[in-house]
Structure 1
Amino acid sequence: MASSTPQPPPVDEKSQPAHQPSQPFELNLQHGHKDLVQAITFNTYGDRCATGSVDGKIRVFNRHKDGTWRICDTWTAHGGEVLELQWLPATVYPNVLASLGTEGWFRLWAEDPSATPGRRFCAGRTSSGRPIFDTRSSSSRGGSSSSGSSSSNSTYRSFSMTHNDETKHTHLALLTTEGRLTVWETEQPEALNEYTSMDEFLVIPQRPQRGQETAFKVVFDPNPEPCYAALRAGVPTDALGLAVAAMDVVRIYRSRDVVAASYGLDTPKKEFYLAAEVTGHRGLVRDIAWAPGNIRGYDMIATACQDGYARVFRLDTPLDSSSSGGAAAATTTTTNGHGSWAASTLITPEKSLQQHRAAVASLGSASPSTKDDNDDGGSGSSTAHPHPHHHTHHHHHTHHQHHPSSLSASLASKAASGSSSSGAGGGADSRLRTIQPGQPGTVAHTAREISRLDNSRTPVWRVGFDDDGQILGTTGDDGKLLCYRQTPDGSWAKSSEMMMMKTRMAAP
């Protein structure tokens, strides 16, 4: 009996060399999961793929030179479904994978290349691997849970990680089902087993009601540093950016330098402020993506909404000193009154440390009555008074005035302004961050919608940019992958459409 499978046409050996694969990249593999695949992620180079299933298992695949994908390891990572996966930067941590489960556990998995395939991520004797770091919000684990997390029974629902190439520190953001966002930083450079809390605050005014459908997503700015327009406006070069989708609202946060009390000493640290708020979604925001490649001078953020639209927003930093508390004037105004593109006007971490020392010295020479007056006057109007007396003879005093005053204000008005939300007390950290124009160290941001992409009026679940920020991909209930490109006028238009079709083989 003849086979029913059609024979492929003959191929001339001269026209196609044997060493050249016909399809160099093909992700047509049998993932092997016994349940629905919930999460999937690729590494920086695109040659490693990790999949997470509803049954709590993670499978890692490697792409070989012949273009085929072969399984590297599989293990039980969580007691519930795997919600999110992320490979850490391959240039720093080529073998580290982060995962988050529906039970609330966040875990880091490190590969042992010397182990046999199938046992590389499993450090124990069973199929359940042993992570190098894990934590959850309801209990302390490995010295990583914050003091305020033990009183909350909410679980983590989203996470994001980023690495600073200059400081060699890794930052971790964890978002709970109650809308509480916690940002961690590694205590030692390139050490992933110990973290310290940077900031903790709420992203929604009140927690969702019991039984209410929720949607939370957090993502770091993937760019090494802010765009040049933001640097001109006064954003420090080492500032962190966070985009948070909480229910039907998207909020953008930036970090600023403040001073906090630790063991009786005032030490500089970073805290996040609300830079922009995006409204207008008529449903839950399921996913959010921050576009890489901000050399264009502005940032782009895409959202996937339950109302059937994928939206693209443009994030700008206007050069308006009245709306940014003097930040724009401090970094762009020179002696001739024109804007400056010089690198000396940028606020680097070294410059911030020097300004902090000068602020502490000037505060130490101030009288107690001056400190009391600053406390009563508030941080908005009293921050510019102490420091300019020492720099009125300098031509660039407007550049040195802004950040020392912000640090001095944090020292002088802890109970009234910056330090009340920077970590002195547990209750202050949990308050909702609101937009406060004119606060020291903040820079005004504006967000506007540039494209609204229809997905056949079906809910959109996933959205993401490519590594250059030139292609936007969305997926939804229609089972299609839609790709968009940016047009010369700045809007986005559909460029391609892909879909998966299940075919049934005919019976012989």
Structure 2
Amino acid sequence: MPPLPTSEDITGENSAAFDIIQHGHKDLVQAIAFNAYGDRCATGSVDGKIRVFNRHQDGIWRLCDNWKAHAGEILELQWFPPTIYPNLLSSLGIEGRFRLWAEDPSAAPGRRFSARDGNGKTVSELRSARYPYRSFSVKHDEVTRCTYVALLASDGHLTVYEGEEPETLTDYAKLDDFQACTKPSRGEETCFKVRFDPNPEPCYTALRAGVPTDALSLLVSGLTSVKIFRTRDTVTSSFGAATRGREFYLAIEIKEHSNLIRDVAWAPGNYRGYDMIATACQDGFVRVFRIDTPFSKDDGKTWSLSDIVNHRSDDNPISRTSNPRRQSQVPSGIRAEIDKSGMHGERTSADLPGQIHHTVKVLSKLSTHRSPVWRVDFDDDGQILGSVGDEGKLMCYRQLPDGSWAKSSELGMMKARMAAPPTNST
């Protein structure tokens, strides 16, 4: 029989596998986020507080800052890329306010993110005037230095902003605004999630099919439906001048769920030639899907860079239009707004220039939890998939050579019970 763990093993001082860290929150931890280097962790609690921990060279995690960030439960946290200075942390509270927290590197520990001025804590925020936000995602383009923020409200409405100054939300411009999911009925249990494609650009087969290199891709789940949106280039005429823009279109909708979807994830590493997404469902299943963009082998293109990459031309503002019949007819701004599918309802797929056909295939339907699944996510390489269910266990999966996924490991917390020493009987 192996020896029982000691107190030093439990606290992590002699543990070679993992450390158990006392987070210090006085309420349930609802959100957690690591930075890209894995040496900084932020936790958000039901009481509205955020705590940031730094991993030092001795391997010990120490508290960096702790502050009251929201009036209620913190739903989601996400770090901005470390290439942005100073470090930025984004958060979303149950009241529906999306906030940015900028670190002051010169401040003393404990006041890095919660520095105060005469008007209170310095913070930049966005909030909806109609329905509160329930999920968000942030993406930063290292080439253009633009930052994108997607906010999904409790009525299924999606708003995407873009800005060149990441830390100032007031300077962000609205890129698109539309109904992404079905509006729930009054009193209906809901769950909404939105995630940007974590890959720097679309996979090479999508580029071959006609997806622009700078296209934005969003994974959106609402109630029992999962949708993928991509951007297409648009050209409108305003007072005789052609203006180039972008808008999201529905690339594909997945209707494989009969119960509420709790979480979604987009796998990094689209070098495979296709995209993969995973869902966590209330019915106890983790589903993994493969997304393809079919292309014709007789399109006269090769795999050379000049053939598969669409280049913009400043001299020809409508050079990206795929239908030659429409190149001579640039729609007006009013006409373009009318043509937008889903202006007064959900945005649906339509036969418009720049929209690329997508297909979906179910790779795996995993039932290892046997209880409702709440969280799902991929590692940074898209090689490992993890999920957490009602039973409190972390399940990890790996992809098999045939493309399917199978359970590889399981992690659960156990409480060691110390038996009372036997008494000497006379």
CA deviations 1:378-433 (Å, max 9, x no partner) are: x99xx4326xxxxxxxxxxxxxxxxxx3xx55x236556x44356xxxx9745321
Question: In the TM superposition, what whole-angstrom CA distance separates every residue of 1:223-260 from its partner, at most 9, and x where no partner exists?
Answer: 00000000000000000100000110000000001124
- Do 1:481 and 1:497's aligned partners in 2 also have CA atoms closer than 8 Å? yes
Q: Does residue 1:161 correspond to 2:161, yes or no?
A: no
Change in Cα spacing, 1:421 to 1:215, as seen in structure 2 (3 Å) is farther
* More strand, by proportion: 2
Please state if 1:50 is matched with 2:42. yes
The structure with the larger Rg is: 1
Q: SS at the partner of 1:318?
A: coil
Match of 1:420 among 333, 338, 347: 338
Q: 2:126 aligns with which of 110, 114, 135?
A: 135
- Which residues in structure 2 correspond to 1:246-395 (within 5 Å)? 246-260=222-236, 265-320=241-296, 333-334=299-300, 339-348=301-310, 350-356=311-317, 383-385=323-325
Deviation (angstroms), 1:127:
12
Larger CA deviation: 266-275 vs 468-477: 266-275
Which among 150, 155, 174 is matched to residue 151 of structure 2? 174
- Could you give the per-residue CA deviations for residues 155-195 of structure 1, whole angstroms, max 9, x where no partner exists? 00000000111111000000000000001000x35554310
CA distance in 2, matches of 1:414, 1:275: 23
The 2-side partners of 1:214 and 1:358 are apart by 43
- In structure 2, what is the equivalent of residue 435 of structure 1? 349
Match of 1:473 among 386, 403, 406: 386
CA-based RMSD of the aligned residues comes to 2.9
Q: CA deviation at 1:22?
A: 6.2
Aligned to 2:219: 243
Aligned-partner Cα distance in 1 for 2:362–2:147? 31
Structure 1: stretches of 5+ with no match in the other structure: 10-20, 139-151, 321-327, 360-378, 387-404
1:103–1:295 distance in 2 versus 1, CA, 3 Å = same
Q: Is the CA contact (8 Å cut-off) linking 1:39 and 1:82 kept in structure 2?
A: yes
Answer whether contact 1:245 1:251 (CA < 8 A) is retained: yes
TM-score (norm 2): 0.89
Moved more, 470-479 or 451-460: 451-460
In structure 2, stretches of 5+ residues that fail to align are 422-426
TM-score, length-scaled by structure 1: 0.76
Q: Check whether the contact 1:292–1:469 (CA below 8 A) recurs between aligned residues.
A: yes
**CA separation of 1:277 and 1:353: change in aligned 2, threshold 3 A:** farther
- Residue 424 of structure 2 corresponds to none
**Closer, same or farther in 2 for the Cα pair 1:502/1:352, shift >3 Å?**
farther
**Matches of 1:483 and 1:202, distance apart in 2:** 34
Alpha-carbon deviation of 1:25?
A: 7.6
Q: Give the conservation status (yes or no) of the 8 Å contact 1:76–1:127.
A: no
Q: Which has the higher contact order (CA 8 A, sep 6+)?
A: 1
Aligned length: 414
SS of equivalent residue, structure 2 residue 324 = coil
Measure, in 1, the Cα distance between the counterparts of 2:295 and 2:172. 36
Shift of 1:66: 1.1
Letter in 1 for 2:192: F
In structure 1, the residue matched to 2:114 is 122
C-alpha separation in 2, matches of 1:111 and 1:50: 13
Query: Distance between the aligned counterparts of 1:157 and 1:421, measured in 2?
Result: 29
| Identical-residue share of aligned pairs (%) | 55
The aligned amino acid for 1:178 is D
Greater share of helix: 1
2:403 corresponds to which of 482, 490, 493 = 490
* Residues 20-169 of structure 1 mapped to structure 2, 5 A cutoff: 26-93=18-85, 95-124=87-116, 129-131=121-123, 133-138=124-129, 152=130, 154-169=131-146
Of 215, 218, 221, the match for 2:191: 215
Deviation at 1:506, TM superposition (A): 6.3
